[in-house]
Structure 1
Amino acid sequence: MASAVTAKKEKMMVAAIDFGTTYSGYAFSLKTDYNADPTKISINQGWVAGSMAVSSYKAPTVVLFDQKGEFNSFGYEAEDAYSELALDNEHHDWYYFSRFKMRLHHENNQKIHRDMDLQDDKGRKLPAITVFGKVIWYLKDHMLKALKKRGTEMKNEDIHWIITVPAIWADSAKQFMREAAYKADIAGSQLTIALEPEAASLYCQYLPTEKIHGTAGLTFDVASTGSKYMVIDLGGGTADITVHERHSGGGLREVHKASGGAWGGTRVDEAFKQMLIKIIGAPVLDKFCEEHRADYLYLQRELEVKKRTMKPSTSGKITLKVPVNLREAYTKETGESIEDAIKGSPYAGKLVWHSDKIRLDATIFKGLFKDCIDKIVEHIRDLLNHPEVKGTDLMLMVGGFSESEMMHDAIENAFKKCRVIIPEDAGLCVMKGAVIFGHRPVAITSRVSRYTYGINISPPFDPNSHPESHKVTIGGRDRCQNVFKSYIREGESIRVGEERSGRHITLNTHQTEMLLNIFASPKKTPQFVDEPEVELLGQVVVQLPDRDELIKVEVKMIFGETELHVEAQEMSTNNKYTSFFDFL
């Protein structure tokens, strides 16, 4: 562990890949630049949307593969290339993936494994590890080429790579991203997984007052030891919320376990889609999306602009430009006019559709944010009632969706007793903070476990405490099978790198291996590994010598890092078995 960290610290450069649900990008800094000024971080500014001549610091998380499943393009280039193919009706055999990061979100209730497939916009499949890996490869390659152009050529092996993930992700999702990075030729010895709200929180420690915005006179003043603040990281896919406490020397301690849900900016997009479906119906909209890809892409970009510019104070009517083909598609499919469709919808008298423009009440468009806002506000309110969070009166909003005035205003109004502040370029805090985290990973001193972790054991059967249903006879002795032996409990605070150990003994002589099954549960005190809400994460196999005796093994779990590590040692030979744990 120590040698791996040292090797990363010796790299000449730290580069961070912010792999987002809707937008992705990269940032980097040389060690010499960091030592002079930690905030001197470079970001690519050359992502250009061809159809709208817009440049940005991030590109859409969209990737296009050709008919053979070979990588073609990423970002705005992928969007525009696919639209061109659609105009010539040649897109049907191509693979187009967008907003696929949420496939790794545990609330989707789909098991994450390294061999799983990912569906594109038409339901066609490619291996998910290939799609994620190619995005990471493209961003890595793009950065290396950009460095070469500016005369700062850097070898891949001289870079410490950071990949950001939501703090609320399960261990299996974090490992999946690690293995996707391996596909992009990033070795494990030069890779660190960073948690998004932690990275953003770390970056904000370095910001001068003029880079922080909030109500009059507010600054992000958490310099005093013991100051607590809530980090509200609102991205395209998730709301990721943590509470940090500032320690002396600039270290951060996690006060409450990371929590949140799928309440990002794409919820607004889905609400807009449902509004259209209530007017023209799902079949018409689906056919339009399939046959008029360029128009659908334009509609998505138009919606994104409106989302960013909508203000709580906006009143009266607003205008949304929509492709004429959408209106014509409805008439062609149904034989009815769009005016008749509106009359029969919940928006009668509130919405007018003329040619390529929809005029609607501002209250309707602002209502698209309601579901998202309600979920986030309710969750924050619940968090503030937890004993360890009570008294937190400073909220730091980061992430691209935090730049929405609708969201900022909603949080501010819901929690009037709290100071709600937002840094300049809130959407870049995670990316820049991940670079600082790469230079200074010890800034996070402790974390709170989101799960109870442990292994299954078979202790001697005790009729006073063990149920008969778990009684088995092994080696002529009654034992209780599937008992959950906890190494760390949910909600427990643990220092970064802290070890928890336990000694175990083989059940039989001549046993040449010990299989350690690692389990996790959101419950604080699970009794058995076969009860509800207990999940098998994976396994570690300890090879043992063939002996005519029972053998003792010491198992260590290393917690507090962004990823869980397991180490096993056979006591008689001192052989150690260490690896990044296999959750897939």
Structure 2
Amino acid sequence: MAVPETVVAIDFGTTRSAWAYQVSGQADNKILVKIPASADTSPSSTIKTETAALIGGRGSGGLVSFGPAAIEDYAASDHVADQALFRWFKFDLCESRTDQTEVGSVMTESVGGQHTVPLLGVMTASLRYFKEDVLAFLSRTGGRTVDVNSVNWVLTVPAIYDDFAKRFMRQAAYEAGMIDRMNSTRLRLCLEPEAACLAAITTDNPLTSNAEGKNMMVIDCGGGTVDITAHKIISVEPLTLEEVAAPDGGLFGSTRVDNAFRVWLKGFLGEKFQEIETTRTLLSIMMSWERKKATFQGLDSAAVWRLNLSELAGYDVTNQDMENLRRSYNDGKPSSLFVGGEKFNVTLPTTLVTSFFTPTLQKIAECLRRIKRESQLHDLHRVFVVGGFSRCPMLREVIRNGLDLPAGRVVDVHEPDLAIVKGAVMYFDRSTSFNSRKARYTYGTGFAVPFDDSNAEHRRRRAAGLVSHHDGKVHVSNGFSIYIRKGDDIPEGGILKRRRYGPLKKSQTSMSFAVYCTSERNPSFADENGCFEVGRVSFPLDMTKEFQKRGIVGEMTFGGPELTVKIVDHEEREITDAVMIMSRAPAPTY
């Protein structure tokens, strides 16, 4: 009897995470949501666990605990020097840095800043925890041992992730043991707002059931990022979508609001802040803020907002000290920003709390206005807002105003926190729903351009020594051979490009080639400003074959959720030991 296969989606968020699954062959065909380490599962659970990892060995060892347990263990262990707590570490994949050009060189910092370790280790330990939780739960509830090879995995990623970040997540999943080889088709990466599309656009949703030919937008507002996609609905059954604007967004998530509160707290406490900066006390205050933040209604809220700072008593702070802090902070400020309260209870005026949200909301508004101005987005039928940050009333108002839409066009999705993880389960079998996408970049490879003496750029490059000689002819180095241009429509499955490569010398035992990208539509050379080497593929040559048959064919697929490369030999057999190293460093300029 065949073992039923299971699709498991992991929504690994910046601040909160969950996983969901669906077992083939079940009559009800439900998608059930599971919170790691919880015994419960439900099709309508609304709780996700904190994305927090407590790791031993000063951050380089094994996982001690994950989620709320990690935070509680960290708070209770009172400065265990060997343990490090990591939160918000997905941010480190969003910010390109020239000193972090390879997967293993991306670093992350622990809470409190005492430990800096490779992000790959933290991510791998976290995904391994999810994998083990999945297998244990499915084995326990299914009455049989579930093997990792009977699970099809979907891992969600922000739409603004570049190729490097996506490859990083695949590498972490591979090292966590979710798949047995890097390019395994048992793992699919799913863009978070695309997952939300599948959850929101259904035949039983009256807002989309008759929406063929209309444009819709999904805005995924999470803790770390805000991701925006826009599609035309070609059909609802079967669901077929065409992307009308390339994914957009930025680092405008709710953690930016948390950072603004932290800056205020530092200013309010003054020197006392330094005493708690690397302690569990600050962590506790911040978590209290995060819980209360979700209930804030903006200027329509109550006149004051209360904050309990009683934990400061453990640092020799007295009631009089608190009064002095209030008096010092209010000095010179307008009365609308005065803080009040008694003893360790501090009250903040609504205008002050609103100011913590304002810069982030302004960034989101600017992004939406730019998308509307630069794209062909007109007459949006519906805007679906998902993610934990979407519950913020002020955010929904910003979205409506930024897109200049009537209130009824901006729609709250049922269980917005879980739309992504549920849609990601659907994605494994319904990825073809996305009939076409817009290319975010221009992609290509380098090649030698035949020298043209009438071309001033060619003459300049020859004078700079950027030429080579083959068969008595001069070629200009580093030409950009364009495979796909930014803004082009890409069919489902991406665009496959094949190119043959061969050795130049009989003694040559290996080869490599680079893949480049740029935001320009018509680059001429791969070393122009703005061009990046996004990956380099290396592969061995079969020295047992005749020289003429040692060549290979590189197959590159552009435009899907991932950039994929496959190397086949002269007889079309895949070379499995080919290695692709992703990079986010810019190509050198001269």
TM-score range, shorter chain: 0.7 to 0.9
Flag the 1:277–1:442 CA change in 2: closer, same or farther, 3 A: same
2:587 matched to which residue of 1?
Answer: none
Match of residue 486, structure 2, among 490, 503, 517: 490
What is the deviation of 1:488? 0.5
Amino acid at match of 1:520: C
Partners of 1:275 and 1:184 in 2: CA distance: 39
What is the deviation of 1:172? 0.9
Match of residue 69, structure 2, among 77, 89, 96: 77
Matched, 1:444 2:440: no
2:41 matched to which residue of 1?
Answer: none
Is the Cα–Cα contact under 8 Å of residues 509 and 547 in structure 1 kept in the other structure? no
Partners of 1:336 and 1:314 in 2: CA distance: 25
Partners of 2:16 and 2:366 in 1: CA distance: 27
Secondary structure of 2:417's aligned partner: helix
What is the deviation of 1:41? 1.3
Compute the TM-score of the two structures, normalised by the length of structure 2: 0.85
What is the deviation of 1:370? 0.7
1:538 matched to which residue of 2?
Answer: 535
Flag the 1:92–1:330 CA change in 2: closer, same or farther, 3 A: farther
Partners of 1:415 and 1:330 in 2: CA distance: 48
Match of residue 252, structure 1, among 241, 258, 263: 241
Secondary structure of 1:309's aligned partner: coil
What is the deviation of 1:518? 0.7
1:4 matched to which residue of 2?
Answer: none
Per-residue deviation, residues 26-78 of structure 1 (Å, max 9, x unmatched): 11111224x754xx211125778xxxxxx962111111112462220011001
Secondary structure of 1:369's aligned partner: helix
Matched, 1:93 2:92: no
Match of residue 15, structure 2, among 13, 17, 22: 22
Partners of 2:459 and 2:369 in 1: CA distance: 44
Partners of 2:369 and 2:6 in 1: CA distance: 41
What is the deviation of 1:529? 1.1
Partners of 1:375 and 1:184 in 2: CA distance: 36
Partners of 1:498 and 1:231 in 2: CA distance: 22
Matched, 1:302 2:249: no
1:196 matched to which residue of 2?
Answer: 192
2:468 matched to which residue of 1?
Answer: 473
Alignment of 1:536-575 (within 5 A): 536-541=533-538, 543=541, 554-568=553-567, 573-574=571-572
Flag the 1:354–1:230 CA change in 2: closer, same or farther, 3 A: same
Matched, 1:124 2:112: no
Flag the 1:165–1:326 CA change in 2: closer, same or farther, 3 A: farther
Match of residue 275, structure 2, among 272, 284, 287: 287
Is the Cα–Cα contact under 8 Å of residues 474 and 507 in structure 1 kept in the other structure? no
Amino acid at match of 1:28: Y
Partners of 2:469 and 2:427 in 1: CA distance: 49
What is the deviation of 1:371? 0.9
Matched, 1:518 2:518: no
Partners of 1:194 and 1:200 in 2: CA distance: 10
Partners of 1:506 and 1:67 in 2: CA distance: 47
Is the Cα–Cα contact under 8 Å of residues 279 and 345 in structure 1 kept in the other structure? no
Matched, 1:261 2:250: yes
Secondary structure of 2:174's aligned partner: helix
Task: Tell me the matched-pair count.
Answer: 551
Match of residue 152, structure 2, among 160, 163, 166: 160
Flag the 1:220–1:329 CA change in 2: closer, same or farther, 3 A: farther
Partners of 1:194 and 1:580 in 2: CA distance: 23
Is the Cα–Cα contact under 8 Å of residues 202 and 436 in structure 1 kept in the other structure? yes
Partners of 1:100 and 1:29 in 2: CA distance: 29
Is the Cα–Cα contact under 8 Å of residues 322 and 344 in structure 2 kept in the other structure? no
Match of residue 236, structure 1, among 223, 229, 234: 223
Match of residue 297, structure 2, among 307, 311, 327: 311
Partners of 2:580 and 2:286 in 1: CA distance: 40
Flag the 1:541–1:302 CA change in 2: closer, same or farther, 3 A: closer
- Which is further off, 104-113 or 354-363? 104-113
Is the Cα–Cα contact under 8 Å of residues 514 and 544 in structure 1 kept in the other structure? no
Is the Cα–Cα contact under 8 Å of residues 104 and 112 in structure 1 kept in the other structure? no
Alignment of 1:220-231 (within 5 A): 220-221=207-208, 223-231=210-218
Flag the 1:345–1:152 CA change in 2: closer, same or farther, 3 A: farther
- Which is further off, 334-343 or 484-493? 334-343
1:212 matched to which residue of 2?
Answer: none
Partners of 1:548 and 1:397 in 2: CA distance: 58
Partners of 2:83 and 2:156 in 1: CA distance: 29
2:170 matched to which residue of 1?
Answer: 178
Is the Cα–Cα contact under 8 Å of residues 569 and 576 in structure 1 kept in the other structure? yes
Flag the 1:505–1:65 CA change in 2: closer, same or farther, 3 A: closer
Flag the 1:391–1:152 CA change in 2: closer, same or farther, 3 A: farther
Flag the 1:467–1:399 CA change in 2: closer, same or farther, 3 A: same
Amino acid at match of 2:246: K
Flag the 1:406–1:286 CA change in 2: closer, same or farther, 3 A: farther
- Which is further off, 222-231 or 168-177? 222-231
Using the aligned pairs only, state the percent identity: 28
1:374 matched to which residue of 2?
Answer: 362
Is the Cα–Cα contact under 8 Å of residues 263 and 372 in structure 1 kept in the other structure? yes
Compute the TM-score of the two structures, normalised by the length of structure 1: 0.86
Secondary structure of 2:307's aligned partner: strand
Amino acid at match of 2:370: D
Flag the 1:79–1:133 CA change in 2: closer, same or farther, 3 A: same
Is the Cα–Cα contact under 8 Å of residues 171 and 564 in structure 1 kept in the other structure? yes
- Which is further off, 469-478 or 418-427? 469-478
Partners of 2:373 and 2:3 in 1: CA distance: 43
Alignment of 1:352-367 (within 5 A): 352-367=340-355
Partners of 1:108 and 1:242 in 2: CA distance: 26
Is the Cα–Cα contact under 8 Å of residues 486 and 521 in structure 2 kept in the other structure? yes
What is the deviation of 1:452? 0.8
- Which is further off, 241-250 or 478-487? 241-250
Amino acid at match of 2:385: M
Flag the 1:530–1:70 CA change in 2: closer, same or farther, 3 A: same
Partners of 1:550 and 1:184 in 2: CA distance: 38
Partners of 2:521 and 2:313 in 1: CA distance: 52
Flag the 1:495–1:140 CA change in 2: closer, same or farther, 3 A: same
What is the deviation of 1:442? 1.7
What is the deviation of 1:323? 3.3
Flag the 1:547–1:13 CA change in 2: closer, same or farther, 3 A: closer
Is the Cα–Cα contact under 8 Å of residues 257 and 447 in structure 1 kept in the other structure? yes
Flag the 1:253–1:202 CA change in 2: closer, same or farther, 3 A: same
Flag the 1:148–1:575 CA change in 2: closer, same or farther, 3 A: closer
Is the Cα–Cα contact under 8 Å of residues 556 and 564 in structure 2 kept in the other structure? yes
1:169 matched to which residue of 2?
Answer: 161
Secondary structure of 2:525's aligned partner: coil
What is the deviation of 1:309? 0.8
Partners of 2:135 and 2:546 in 1: CA distance: 54
Flag the 1:376–1:207 CA change in 2: closer, same or farther, 3 A: farther
